[in-house]
Structure 1
Amino acid sequence: MIMRDNTVFAELMLHERLLKAIDKLGFKRPTPVQAAALPEALAGHDLIVGAETGSGKTLAFVAPMLQHFLDISAPNTGTRGLILTPTRELAEQVCQAVKDIAAFTRINAMTVCGGTGFKEQAAEIRKNPEILVATPGRLAEHLERNTLDLDDLEFLVLDEADRMLDMGFRDEVMAIVQLCRPQRQSMVFSATLTHRGVREILPQVLNEPKELLLNTPQNAQASIRQQIILADDDKHKERLVEWLLAHETYDKAIIFTNTRDKAQWLAKSLQRQNRRSGVLHGEMTQDERKHVMELMRSGKINVLVATDVAARGLDIEGLDLVINFDMARKGDEHVHRVGRTGRQEREGLAICLIAHNEWNLMASIERYLRIEFERRTIKGVEGQYKGPKKVKASGKAAGSKKKKTDVKRAKSTAGKPKSKQRVRDRKDQGKRRSDSARPAPSLGDGSMPLMKKRSDR
């Protein structure tokens, strides 16, 4: 049952206390994902839902859960609802949404994430909050130590399931699912349902589910302008970022890098330019991460430099500009990065800075999304790199793979002596050179210098 756009929340027969909270939050009409998922979830069906981030899917799984708890009181039970998320930031955000929608009820919720004292969390869990919003790693730890059981669980939600699997939480998620009460309602929400791992775990999580596909990665970003700017190296990218932040119109911006070290370096560079900027990465403590997000949401800083820890689920009001300092490593990660802007049909701008070693990656993401990024040049900040000299129809740089004829030629000449030989070499034939006389290898002979082991690998 897909509801029409003019259907109001009151027609869903939600409890008046939930309607009061929804009205206070300013939600007038259901978004497409809410219109599709709410009736099915309220009817008690298990769901697998594909919907882009920022589409309002949190309300789509929180409201049915709260409605059930209001309809059927169970004061002497343990945890009744569990929502699993891939990151602490998303868990905090979802938990706050639960509290906002449950504001006029007596239903309690808490987060169970790393970065907070285990004993303090265990003490809060003993107070039996009805709903837990958790990351898989910390929740599995509580289950192992018997500080929590899920014998009374009635609702299970996997939010951003593909991201949890990409982050290596498959074993934890499946262990948690096995400990949940079999008689429950389960829902899986994700921006990408084509993920192979998600399809593999569905039979163990859901029971005769309804599948609702609201978007694909190819059409999820219709309201986002996507551009690329060619760059020589990181220092050139730094100058491009400085120009973009000075000349683009935006309320808030987020800049993505692929490593923690680069995020810290770029954030310090922006702060030296008196930019109100902060940094967010996975090695920060939970208090540090929460503090940065509060600064961003309150507007005390308006530029956030982040690794992919911030790519999923974060909803920051007024985020108009996304800059990929480094190109995302996969198409799905690119979707979630740029999905921080252009949310709920608002227009957004996403700009990727492309060095020579990122061209083929960029081209593969274009093919995955079935779009062509807008090429852009900034006068006065141009670099030497102009793109590959030859580009195949696929968009890849020509010469990225050796031709078969080149390989055959290499095999046919392998092991054959050169036609000419220097006189000195002929004189030295048959003589054994001592190790001390051998020249040390140089970088030009194909050998690689030893690399120091990095602590963050």
Structure 2
Amino acid sequence: METQPEPTSSLTFSQFELDSRIKQATQAMGFDHPTEVQAAVIPLANESKDLWVCAKTGSGKTAAFLIPALQHLLQNCPEDSAAKVLILAPTRELAKQTHKQCRQLAEFTPIKSGMIIGGEDFKKQSALFAKSTAIIIATPGRLIEVIEEGSADFSRLDLLILDEADRMLDMGFKNDLLKIASVCKPERQTLLFSATLNPTIKGIALTLLKEPEKVYLDGIQAEHEDIEQQMLLADDFEHKKKLLIWLLSHETYEKALVFTNTKIHTDQLRGPLRGQKLRVGSLHGDMDQSERNKTMGFFRDGTIDILVATDVAARGLDIEGVDLVINFDLARNGNDYLHRIGRTGRAGRPGLAIALINSTEWNVLAGIERYLQQRLIRRTIKELEGRYKGPKKLKASGKAASSKNKKAETKKKASKIKDRHRDRKKIGKRRKPSELKTNG
């Protein structure tokens, strides 16, 4: 059963103007009360308005766009309609989760949905357009391949949904998104969901949305109240490894995510952690889809309780029970950092995020703290304290005082040289009678 974040009001799904079959599905899923984003989005989307929604991960946004999509199809489209709704997602994992929830919400309806993602049979995906598949859920890269192959038909599309649009832009899909939108029916409704309000996402929103209603909730830059954020100083890779093993052996957690910046570090950590009898798996972009599916299955069912991953797992993975996130390598910027720690502290549950920081990462940490507008809690593990204590501080006099002293010293030297030069000019000169002193 899908989990629903904590409700924000006494409003119930039964109070929305929805088809009875959708209400039946929400009840079966245990979705009694809408979340803040659902309460804000569903009524506006049902009015066929373009929407730009900014809301943090784990806020219940998937149901916020799926429910209006299903309502539109049941209310306006015949059962044999194909490709009436297109949902774009940045990763295969997020597409799969969206598809799963779509099928649950459409359980009591005749609506069919299908996926177009990498790692799956291309011919079967191309055939979706001839099989009355009303809802297509796709990743941009594979969908472009299907479009170029010639089998995709979005000429009758009513609703285009971009989920985690900011992440798709971060991954370099801007041109793909624009190309996909260009082959869709111009007279359509578009819903754009993002977790940030940076200039890049504003540009794509202005391009694709027509006079949109803006729903800005607590986006990703808002403080993660349910996540305690800590940092530990480390000397080098080996020291970080010791800290990591200690944390995974002493902290209390149901599931833990460990993030690295490279697949090499991911592979280098898996063996030593297993050597400590820890149940660990790894996930990175070079793994084929069957391997990724197998690993994620083990993580979900608890066969393994630690996953070491690159940023391929930072977005779009809704894994229940992740209550510890460790940044073995610090994320490269504040946005990526927040996406990583957003895997925990979801739906009102507490989480712990710990960053291991060496000397080369200190300035990046400072930038992330400015981005967050808060400082990470400094922590030490007594038996594993290292040599690195952070950047060296200047003496109390400071740079300004030092500079001032240097200038004064230079001026003093110059003055002495000037005096000697003036005296030297008078040597050997005869003084005038008026300059001579007389004895009276």
Fold in common (TM above 0.5) = yes
Deviation at residue 286 of structure 1 after TM alignment: 1.4
Structure 2 distance, partners of 1:285, 1:134, is 18
Question: Does 2:89 correspond to 1:74?
Answer: no
Deviation at residue 124 of structure 1 after TM alignment: 3.9
Counterpart code for 1:244 = L
Task: Report the counterpart of residue 345 of structure 2 in structure 1.
Answer: 342
Identify which of 144, 152, 156 aligns with 2:156.
152
Contact 1:217 1:369 in 2 (8 A): no
Aligned pairs (5 A) from 1:131-146:
131-146=135-150
Task: Report the counterpart of residue 410 of structure 2 in structure 1.
Answer: none
Unaligned runs of 5+ in 1: 393-397, 407-457
Structure 1 distance, partners of 2:8, 2:170, is 35
Task: Report the counterpart of residue 325 of structure 2 in structure 1.
Answer: 322
Deviation at residue 267 of structure 1 after TM alignment: 1.7
Structure 2 distance, partners of 1:313, 1:192, is 15
Structure 2 distance, partners of 1:303, 1:125, is 40
Structure 1 distance, partners of 2:16, 2:389, is 56
Structure 1 distance, partners of 2:270, 2:18, is 46
Task: Report the counterpart of residue 58 of structure 1 in structure 2.
Answer: 62
Structure 2 distance, partners of 1:220, 1:30, is 22
Question: Does 2:248 correspond to 1:245?
Answer: yes
Q: Greater share of helix residues, 1 or 2?
A: 2
Structure 1 distance, partners of 2:15, 2:122, is 43
Q: Tell me whether 12-21 or 175-184 shows the greater mean CA deviation.
A: 12-21
Shift of the 56–368 alpha-carbon distance from structure 1 to 2, 3 Å rule, reads: same
Question: Does 2:284 correspond to 1:284?
Answer: no
Q: Tell me whether 344-353 or 266-275 shows the greater mean CA deviation.
A: 266-275
Structure 1 distance, partners of 2:394, 2:268, is 33
Shift of the 271–344 alpha-carbon distance from structure 1 to 2, 3 Å rule, reads: same
Deviation at residue 288 of structure 1 after TM alignment: 1.4
The secondary structure found in structure 1 opposite 2:253 is coil
Structure 1 distance, partners of 2:369, 2:300, is 31
Q: Deviations over 1:243-293 (max 9, x none)?
A: 111111110000000001111211222122221111111111111111111
The secondary structure found in structure 1 opposite 2:205 is helix
Deviation at residue 191 of structure 1 after TM alignment: 1.1
Contact 2:57 2:220 in 1 (8 A): no
The two structures, once aligned, show a CA RMSD in angstroms of 1.9
Aligned pairs (5 A) from 1:265-280:
265-280=268-283
Aligned pairs (5 A) from 1:187-336:
187-193=191-197, 195-336=198-339
Structure 2 distance, partners of 1:73, 1:44, is 14
Unaligned runs of 5+ in 2: 1-6, 407-440
Deviation at residue 128 of structure 1 after TM alignment: 2.9
Q: TM-score, normalised by structure 1?
A: 0.83
Identify which of 99, 119, 122 aligns with 1:115.
119
Deviation at residue 220 of structure 1 after TM alignment: 4.3
Deviation at residue 189 of structure 1 after TM alignment: 0.5
Counterpart code for 1:20 = Q
Aligned residues: 394
Deviation at residue 302 of structure 1 after TM alignment: 0.8
Identify which of 6, 9, 29 aligns with 1:5.
9
Contact 1:142 1:148 in 2 (8 A): yes
Identify which of 371, 375, 388 aligns with 1:372.
375
Q: Deviations over 1:401-453 (max 9, x none)?
A: xx9x99xxxxxxxxxxxxxxxxxxxxxxxxxxxxxxxxxxxxxxxxxxxxxxx
The share of aligned pairs that are identical, in percent, is: 49
Structure 1 distance, partners of 2:251, 2:24, is 39
Deviation at residue 121 of structure 1 after TM alignment: 2.0
The secondary structure found in structure 2 opposite 1:380 is helix
Structure 2 distance, partners of 1:173, 1:265, is 36
Q: Deviations over 1:381-416 (max 9, x none)?
A: 111111111289xxxxx99xxx9x99xxxxxxxxxx
Task: Report the counterpart of residue 427 of structure 2 in structure 1.
Answer: none
Task: Report the counterpart of residue 89 of structure 1 in structure 2.
Answer: 93
The secondary structure found in structure 2 opposite 1:322 is strand
Counterpart code for 1:302 = D
Structure 2 distance, partners of 1:19, 1:47, is 23
Q: TM-score, normalised by structure 2?
A: 0.86
Counterpart code for 1:83 = I
The secondary structure found in structure 1 opposite 2:94 is helix
Counterpart code for 1:73 = C
Counterpart code for 2:69 = M
Counterpart code for 1:279 = S
Identify which of 143, 150, 161 aligns with 2:165.
161
Structure 1 distance, partners of 2:225, 2:62, is 21
Instruction: Specify the structure having the higher radius of gyration (Cα).
Output: 2
Contact 2:231 2:355 in 1 (8 A): yes
Structure 1 distance, partners of 2:226, 2:340, is 14
Shift of the 321–45 alpha-carbon distance from structure 1 to 2, 3 Å rule, reads: same
Q: Deviations over 1:175-207 (max 9, x none)?
A: 0001110111110001112x2211111122111
Counterpart code for 2:216 = L
Contact 1:255 1:304 in 2 (8 A): yes
Counterpart code for 1:88 = R
Deviation at residue 125 of structure 1 after TM alignment: 4.0
Task: Report the counterpart of residue 445 of structure 1 in structure 2.
Answer: none
Task: Report the counterpart of residue 439 of structure 1 in structure 2.
Answer: none
Q: Deviations over 1:89-126 (max 9, x none)?
A: 11111111111111111111111111123223223443
Q: Tell me whether 24-33 or 172-181 shows the greater mean CA deviation.
A: 24-33
Contact 1:54 1:313 in 2 (8 A): no
Question: Does 2:19 correspond to 1:15?
Answer: yes
Structure 1 distance, partners of 2:296, 2:18, is 32
Structure 2 distance, partners of 1:107, 1:135, is 21
Contact 1:52 1:220 in 2 (8 A): no
Q: Deviations over 1:101-155 (max 9, x none)?
A: 1111111111111112322322344323111111101101111111111011111
Counterpart code for 1:209 = P
Counterpart code for 2:338 = V
